[in-house]
Structure 1
Amino acid sequence: MNMTGKNCIVTGAASGIGKAIALKYISDGANVAIADLKLDAAQAVAAELTAMGPGRAIAVEMDVTDEDAVNAGVQKTVDDLGSVDVLVSNAGIQIVHRIEDFPFSEWKKMLAIHLDGAFLTTKACLPHMYAQGSGTVIYMGSVHSKEASPLKSAYVTAKHGLMGLSRTLAKEGGLKGVRSHVICPGFVKTPLVEKQIPEQARDLGISEEEVVSKVMLGKTVDTEFTTIEDIANLAWLFAAFPTNALTGQSIVASHGWFMN
Structure 2
Amino acid sequence: MNMTGKNCIVTGAASGIGRAIAEKYVSDGANVCIADLKLEAAQRVAEELTAMGPGRAMAVEMDVTDEDAVNAGVARTVETLGGVDVLVSNAGIQIVHRIEDFPYAEWKKLLAIHLDGAFLTTKACLPHMYKQGSGTVIYMGSVHSKEASPLKSAYVTAKHGLLGLARTLAKEGGPKGVRSHVICPGFVKTPLVEKQIPEQAKDLGISEDEVVSRVMLGQTVDTEFTTVEDIANLAWVFAAFPTNALTGQSLVASHGWYMN
TM-score scaled by length of structure 2? 1.00
2:228 is aligned with 1:195: no
* Distance in 1 between residues matched to 2:88 and 2:115, nearest whole Å: 13
Alignment of 1:205-244 (within 5 A): 205-244=205-244
Report how far residue 245 of structure 1 moved. Answer: 1.1
2:250 match: secondary structure? strand
Report how far residue 184 of structure 1 moved. Answer: 0.1
Residue identity in the other structure for 1:37: L
Alignment of 1:167-186 (within 5 A): 167-186=167-186
Q: Which residue of 1 aligns with 2:246?
A: 246
1:206 match: secondary structure? coil
1:21 match: secondary structure? helix
Residue identity in the other structure for 1:193: V
* Distance in 1 between residues matched to 2:244 and 2:218, nearest whole Å: 37
Alignment of 1:18-33 (within 5 A): 18-33=18-33
Q: Which residue of 2 aligns with 1:126?
A: 126
Aligned length in residues: 260
* Distance in 1 between residues matched to 2:246 and 2:239, nearest whole Å: 10
Report how far residue 140 of structure 1 moved. Answer: 0.1
Report how far residue 147 of structure 1 moved. Answer: 0.1
Residue identity in the other structure for 1:76: R
Residue identity in the other structure for 1:61: E
* Distance in 2 between residues matched to 1:89 and 1:227, nearest whole Å: 18
* Distance in 2 between residues matched to 1:84 and 1:170, nearest whole Å: 17
2:60 match: secondary structure? strand
2:136 is aligned with 1:136: yes
Q: Which residue of 2 aligns with 1:92?
A: 92
Runs in 1 of length 4+ with deviation above 2 angstroms?
A: none
* Distance in 2 between residues matched to 1:145 and 1:77, nearest whole Å: 30
Q: Which residue of 2 aligns with 1:103?
A: 103
> What root-mean-square deviation, in Å, do the aligned CA atoms of Structure 1 and Structure 2 show?
0.3
* Distance in 1 between residues matched to 2:64 and 2:183, nearest whole Å: 19
* Distance in 1 between residues matched to 2:246 and 2:166, nearest whole Å: 13
Q: Which residue of 1 aligns with 2:69?
A: 69
Alignment of 1:40-79 (within 5 A): 40-79=40-79
Q: Which residue of 1 aligns with 2:8?
A: 8
* Distance in 1 between residues matched to 2:45 and 2:174, nearest whole Å: 33
Identity of aligned residues (%): 89
* Distance in 1 between residues matched to 2:245 and 2:203, nearest whole Å: 44
Report how far residue 92 of structure 1 moved. Answer: 0.3
* Distance in 2 between residues matched to 1:16 and 1:38, nearest whole Å: 13
* Distance in 1 between residues matched to 2:246 and 2:149, nearest whole Å: 29
Report how far residue 246 of structure 1 moved. Answer: 1.4
* Distance in 1 between residues matched to 2:200 and 2:61, nearest whole Å: 32
Residue identity in the other structure for 2:246: L
* Distance in 1 between residues matched to 2:247 and 2:164, nearest whole Å: 13
* Distance in 2 between residues matched to 1:95 and 1:211, nearest whole Å: 16
Residue identity in the other structure for 2:163: M
* Distance in 1 between residues matched to 2:145 and 2:77, nearest whole Å: 29
TM-score scaled by length of structure 1? 1.00
Q: Which residue of 2 aligns with 1:153?
A: 153
Residue identity in the other structure for 1:18: G
